[in-house]
């Protein structure tokens, strides 16, 4: 299959967690199948995942080795109020010039750069080289709409103030620019060093490229607002058909566990929050024992934070990693941190959700899940006793959410990401057809 009269080379730049990487791989696989060349520029730690998908890999910093022990940075990076400043100022910005040089060395005339929010170096390279740059918006929270303000722990008054009118958001956005300028200084310094005009603020306007923005969420999750850029195209969650996925198999031990009993509750903290030392799995253990249901804990490397008692419980299976696309459809309920990738897979699976947001876009995603009627939000687990989780599990497994979850899932399945993605690229003038 080809995309038209000629092929292009696409540079997909992404930094962050697996929730940031997986959309880039999904888009890259579609472009590769359509006859294009694809380079994924991301953390060196993701090389194997990128190359396994058949895509060319370009290392970007930082690596986990650059950042240091996970126990030291995970809590700071996911602090509800100051996490964004830590990520930008201490993890991303120190390496922006290194990443700029690596990208500049490999781009060539005619390339198309598709960048995600934290990949600040990529649009600079495109601007210097005169390349077409397209931005990717993974979650509605980063749209920073005046008419649909996000739910953010760092500024809890933001959304309630929106009821007074869009003018309140203008004040907050102005304040946000001033505050963020402090930890974005290396970005602005690099622009100046390269002889570039100041340009739009990278978090308030600059997250949308002039050529166009790919909004990687569906209308059912976030309705288009009057202040969204005209060239922003809603293409849906990057959920490719499960039968097209490669190397997405559940571990043999989990398959055996699933087959010997009723659907379990699944508890997971994604690929970023899981590094933190929390009482999440302790509360989960207490809750499932209270309710009397089986459970699967997807708990990351070394099964961190999983109580010893859970590892010997025959009604609980603990895994370091499992593909959500295969696991969630076999669950009775999914409890998770509400990263956008985990959320989208749970919505597709038509499974009720116990939303347990920690930081960043997660509270906003959780709110949208609840407003869709697909789950409940619960954050009270710090003591690890599980009583709040148990109450939520009884509510979610009672059948009241099943019809709505099925309806939303049906909407997502009708939304053809591949078709929407190439239609958006055609409208931006970077592919000829399909």
Average pLDDT over the chain, rounded to an integer: 93
Instruction: Say if residue 227 is in the same domain as residue 309.
Output: no
Is residue 135 within 8 Å of residue 209, measured between CB atoms? yes
Q: Identify whether 391 is part of a domain.
A: yes
Of the CA atoms within 13 Å of residue 230, those in its CB half-sphere come to 1
pTM above 0.85, yes or no: yes
Instruction: Confirm whether 4 is domain-assigned.
Output: no
Domain of 311 in residue numbering reads as 244-413
Q: How many CA atoms lie within 13 A of 6 on its CB side?
A: 7
- How far CA 263 is from CA of 222, 256, 266, 320, 328, in Å, comes to 30, 12, 9, 19, 10
225 with 281, same domain: the answer is: no
Q: Are residues 223 and 250 in the same domain?
A: no
Q: Does the residue 140 lie in any domain? A: yes
Q: pLDDT-derived band of residue 433, with 50, 70 and 90 as boundaries?
A: low
Question: Rounded CA gap, 181 and 194, in Å?
Answer: 18
Q: Is the pLDDT of residue 163 over 80?
A: yes
Q: What's the average model confidence in pLDDT over 253-276?
A: 93
Q: Are residues 221 and 354 in the same domain?
A: no
Residues 420 and 386 in one domain: no
Instruction: Kindly state whether residue 432 falls inside one of the protein's structural domains.
Output: no
Shared domain for 223 and 341, answered yes or no, is no
β-pair partners for 137: 215
Write out pLDDT tens, residues 50-76.
999 999 999 999 998 898 887 788 889
| Residues 384, 338 within the same domain | yes
Percent of the chain exceeding pLDDT 70 equals 97
Q: What is the predicted pLDDT for the residue at 367?
A: 97
211 and 289 assigned to the same domain: no
Q: Are residues 294 and 370 in the same domain?
A: yes
Residues 6+ apart with CB under 8 A from 271: 17, 18, 19, 300, 339
**Residue 336's CATH number:** 3.40.50.2000
Residues 214 and 264 in one domain: no
Same domain, 21 and 144: yes
The predicted pLDDT at position 247 comes to 55
- Per residue, the 3-state secondary structure of the chain, as one string, reads CCCCCCCCEEEEECCCCHHHHHHHHHHHHHHHHCCCEEEEEEEHHHHHHHHHCCCEEEEECCCHHHHCCHHHHHHHHCCCCCHHHHHHHHHHHHHHHHHHHHHHHHCCCCCEEEEECCCCHHHHHHHHHCCEEEEEECCHHHHCCCCCCCCCCCCCCHHHHHHHCCHHHHHHHHHHHHHHHHHCHHHHHHHHHCCCCCCCECCCECCCCCCCEEECCCCCCCCCCCCCCCCEEECCCCCCCHHHCCCCCCCHHHHHHHHCCCCCEEEECCCCHHHCCCCHHHHHHHHHHHHCCCEEEECCHHHCCCCHHHHCCCCEEEECCCCHHHHHHHCCEEEECCCHHHHHHHHHCCCCEEECCCCCCHHHHHHHHHHCCCEEECCCCCCCCCHHHHHHHHHHCCCCCHHHHHHHHHHHHHCCHHHHHHHHHHHCCCCCCC
Is the pLDDT reported for residue 244 higher than 60?
Answer: no
**In a domain? residue 1:** no
Classify residue 358: in a domain, yes or no. Answer: yes
Domains: count for the chain: 2
pLDDT at 242: 59
| 409 and 421 inside one domain | no
434 within some domain: no
């Amino acid at each position: 299959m080809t995309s038209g009269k000629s092929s292009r080379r696409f540079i997909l730049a992404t930094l962050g967690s697996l929730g940031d990487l997986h959309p880039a791989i999904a888009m890259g696989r579609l472009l590769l199948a359509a006859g294009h060349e694809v380079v994924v520029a991301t953390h060196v730690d993701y090389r194997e995942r990128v190359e396994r998908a058949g895509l060319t890999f370009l290392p970007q910093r930082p690596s986990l080795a650059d950042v240091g022990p996970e126990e030291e940075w995970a809590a700071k990076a996911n602090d509800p109020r100051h996490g964004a400043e830590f990520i930008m100022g201490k993890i991303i910005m120190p390496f922006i010039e290194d990443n700029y040089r690596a990208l500049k060395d490999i781009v060539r005339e005619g390339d198309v750069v598709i960048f995600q929010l934290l990949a600040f170096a990529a649009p600079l390279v495109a601007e210097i080289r005169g390349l077409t740059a397209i931005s990717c918006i993974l979650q509605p929270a980063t749209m920073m709409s005046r008419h649909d303000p996000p739910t953010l722990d760092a500024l809890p008054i933001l959304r309630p103030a929106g009821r007074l009118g869009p003018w309140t958001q203008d004040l907050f956005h102005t304040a946000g620019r001033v505050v963020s300028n402090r930890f974005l200084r290396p970005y602005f310094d690099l622009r100046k060093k390269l002889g570039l005009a100041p340009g739009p603020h990278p978090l308030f306007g600059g997250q949308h490229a002039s050529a166009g923005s790919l909004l990687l969420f569906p209308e059912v999750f976030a309705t288009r607002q009057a202040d969204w850029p005209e060239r922003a195209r809603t293409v849906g969650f990057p959920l490719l058909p499960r039968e097209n996925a490669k190397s997405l198999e559940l571990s043999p031990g989990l398959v055996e566990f699933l087959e010997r009993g009723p659907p379990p509750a699944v508890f997971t903290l994604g690929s970023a929050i899981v590094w933190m030392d929390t009482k999440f799995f302790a509360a989960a253990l207490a809750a499932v024992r209270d309710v009397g249901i089986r459970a699967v804990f997807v708990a990351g490397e070394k099964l961190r934070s999983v109580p010893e008692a859970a590892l010997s419980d025959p009604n609980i299976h603990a895994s370091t990693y499992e593909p959500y696309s295969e696991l969630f459809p076999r669950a009775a309920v999914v409890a998770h941190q509400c990263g956008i990738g985990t959320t989208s897979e749970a919505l597709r699976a038509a499974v009720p959700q116990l939303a347990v947001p920690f930081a960043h876009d997660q509270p906003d995603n959780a709110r949208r899940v609840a407003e869709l009627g697909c789950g409940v939000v619960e954050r009270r687990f710090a003591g690890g006793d599980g009583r709040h989780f148990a109450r939520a599990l009884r509510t979610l497994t009672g059948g009241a959410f099943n019809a709505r979850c099925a309806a939303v899932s049906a909407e997502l399945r009708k939304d053809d990401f591949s078709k929407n993605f190439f239609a958006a690229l055609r409208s931006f003038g970077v592919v000829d057809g399909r």
